[in-house]
Structure 1
C-alpha cells in the first residue's frame, strides 16, 4: 500500500521526535512518502498531487485545519479512473493523526485524543482493512468535515486566531473570553440580518447567527462536548441551529443547553433543521464565516449542500 503523510510542522501537540516515531510506525505497514506543508493552503495541493499519483492512503498530522485542506485537495483531485467505482473508492482513503488543539474530526470518527493511541488504532485499522465512508458538507465550492458557522461563532474564531498569532495558547479560557468580548462589545445584537432559504420552503428570516453541523459534537471545550445539534451525523444531511435573537437571557439558556449532558436546544428564539440536503444563507450585511474552525473572512451569501458517502476514513 502506497501512502503519503502530510505534516503540518506547526502542529501544536507534536514534536520532531514524535513525528519521527510516527513515520517509523507507519512505514512498518505502508510504503510511505512524507510531505511537509509550508504555508496555509499548501496541504490542498499536496493531497491533490497524492490523489493524482494514485496512492492508496493520505495521512494527516496536524489539526482540523490541516484535515480540511487535505479533504479539499482530495475532493478536487483527478484520480485515476476505475471502472464502476464510486468517487470514495477512486480517491485515496484518509487517516487523521491528531496534532492540533481540539482535533474534532479525528475524535468524531472515533479516534483517541492523543496521537500515540490514535496512531495505534489507525495501524490496527490498516492491518484489518477497517474503514468507514463519511459524508461531507460543501459551502459554495469548499468542502468541510464537521462544522460551519455564519455570524457570531465565526467572529469568535477570528478573535481566537488573532490572539494565537500574537502568541496566545488555544485554551478553553481563551475561547470563553473571546465569546464574551465578541458578544457584548462587537456584535449588532439588535438587528438580525440573516435569511435561510430552502428549495420549496418559505424562507426563515431575521436570524442572528447560524451554526451548521455535519456530525456531532460541533466542537469541544477541553473534554466537554459542545453539541448544538446532537443528532447530526456523517451518514445524513446537514443539521442547522440558528438563533433568531442574541438576547442575553435566551442566548445564555441556549448555550447552557449546548453544554448539558443531554443536549437538546429549544426555545422561541431557536431554529433547528435536521438532515438537510441544501440551503442558502443570505445576509443584508457581511457576516463572519468559518469552516471546520478556520476563519475565512466575511460573506453575504453562502450556499450549503450535503455530499453523501464522499470519502473513506481509516479509524
Structure 2
C-alpha cells in the first residue's frame, strides 16, 4: 500500500522525535513518503498530488487546518495536470492529531494523544477497518466539521491575530476573545443575515450562524461544545442561528450549549437539522470561518452537504 504522510512542521503538540517515531511505525505497514507543508495552502497541493500519483492512503499530522487543506486537495484533484476533475476512488484519509484542538480527529473517536491515535490507525490498517464520512461545502471550499458566519468567525479572527502576536492557543484565549468580540466588536442592534433555502421563504434578521457537519462543534479543553448535538457525518448540515445578541438571551443560550446535555432553545434561537443546501446572505460583510480557519469577510455564502465524500481510517 502506497501512502503519503503530510506533516505540518509547526504543529503545536508534536516534536521532531515524535514525527520520527510515527514515520517508523507507519513504514512497518505501508510504503511511505513524507511531505512537509511549507506555507498556508500547501496542504491542498499535496492532497491533489497524492490523488494524481494514485496513492492509496494519505495520513495527516497536524491540526484541523492541515486536515482541511488536505481534504480540499483530495476533493479537487484534477484527472491530470491539465484535465477535468475525475469521478474515481480517492485515497483513504487517516488523521493523527497534532494541533491544539483536533476537532475532526476527536469527532471520529480518535484519542487525543498522537501516539495512541497512531496505534489506532495501524490497527485499523491491519484489520481493514474504515468508515465513510460526509463533508460540507461552502461555495467552492470543503469543510470537515464546522463553519461560522458572524460572531464566532470574528472570534476566530481575534484568536488568530493574538496567536500571530505570540499568544498560545488555549480555552482561556478563546473565552477572552469571545467576550471582547461580543461586548465591543460586534454590531448587536442590527442583525444583517438572511437564510435562504430552495422552495422556502427567507428567514431574515439573523445576527450570527453556526453550521455543523458533525458533533461536537468544537472543544474547550475536555468539554465538548455542541450547539447542534444531532449533527452527524452521516447526515446533512445542521444550523444554529441567533436572531439577536442581547446579553440575557445570549448568555442563556451559551449556558445551554455548554451544558452536559446541550439542547439550546428560546425565542432568539433558530435550529435546523439535516439540510442539503442553503445560502446565507448579509446586508453588510460578515466574518467567515471554516474548520476554525478565518477566511475573511463575505456578504454571501452557499452551503451544500456532500454525503459519503471520503473514506477515513479510524
Task: After TM superposition, give the deviation of residue 198 of structure 1 in Å.
Answer: 0.1
Is the aligned partner of 1:76 residue 2:76? Answer: yes
Q: Which residue of 2 aligns with 1:135?
A: 134
- Distance in 1 between the 2:141 and 2:40 partners? 15
SS of match in other structure, 1:246: coil
For residues 114-129 of structure 1, the aligned pairs below 5 Å read 114-129=113-128
Give the alignment of 1:1-315 within 5 angstroms.
1-78=1-78, 90-315=89-314
The unaligned stretches of length 5 or more in structure 1 are: 81-85
1:84-126: CA deviation from partner (whole Å, max 9, x where unpaired): xx95x71000000000000000001110011000000000000
Q: Secondary structure at the match of 1:258?
A: helix
Tell me the CA shift for residue 30 of structure 1.
0.3
Deviation, structure 1 residue 152: 0.2
CA offsets 1:134-190 (integer angstroms, 9 cap, x no match): 000000000000000000000000000000011100000000000000000110000
Report the secondary structure of 1:90's partner residue.
Answer: coil
Mark the CA change 1:95 to 1:79 in structure 2 (over 3 Å): closer, same or farther.
farther
Q: Secondary structure at the match of 1:161?
A: helix
The residue aligned with 1:83 is none
CA distance in 1 between counterparts of 2:144 and 2:22 reads 24
Structure 1 distance, partners of 2:256, 2:118, is 34
Mapped to 1, the partners of 2:25 and 2:168 lie a distance apart of 29
- What are the Cα deviations for residues 206-257 of structure 1, in whole angstroms up to 9, with x where unaligned? 0000000000000000000000000000000000000000000000010111
Name the count of aligned residue pairs: 309
Q: CA deviation at 1:79?
A: 5.4
Give the alignment's Cα RMSD to 1 decimal: 1.0
- CA apart distance, 1:78: 3.1
Partner Cα distance (2:228, 2:249) in 1: 17
Q: CA 1:309–1:141 in 2, change beyond 3 Å: closer, same or farther?
A: same
Q: Secondary structure at the match of 2:287?
A: strand
Question: What is the CA distance between 1:5 and its match in structure 2?
Answer: 0.3
Q: Give structure 1 regions of 4+ aligned residues with deviation exceeding 6 angstroms.
A: none
TM norm structure 1: 0.97
Q: Tell me the distance in 2 between the aligned counterparts of 1:249 and 1:203.
A: 26
Q: Distance between the aligned counterparts of 1:149 and 1:69, measured in 2?
A: 17
CA–CA distance in structure 2, aligned partners of residues 143 and 52 of structure 1: 19
Say which SS state the counterpart of residue 284 (structure 2) adopts: strand
Flag structure 2 segments of 5+ consecutive residues without an equivalent.
81-85
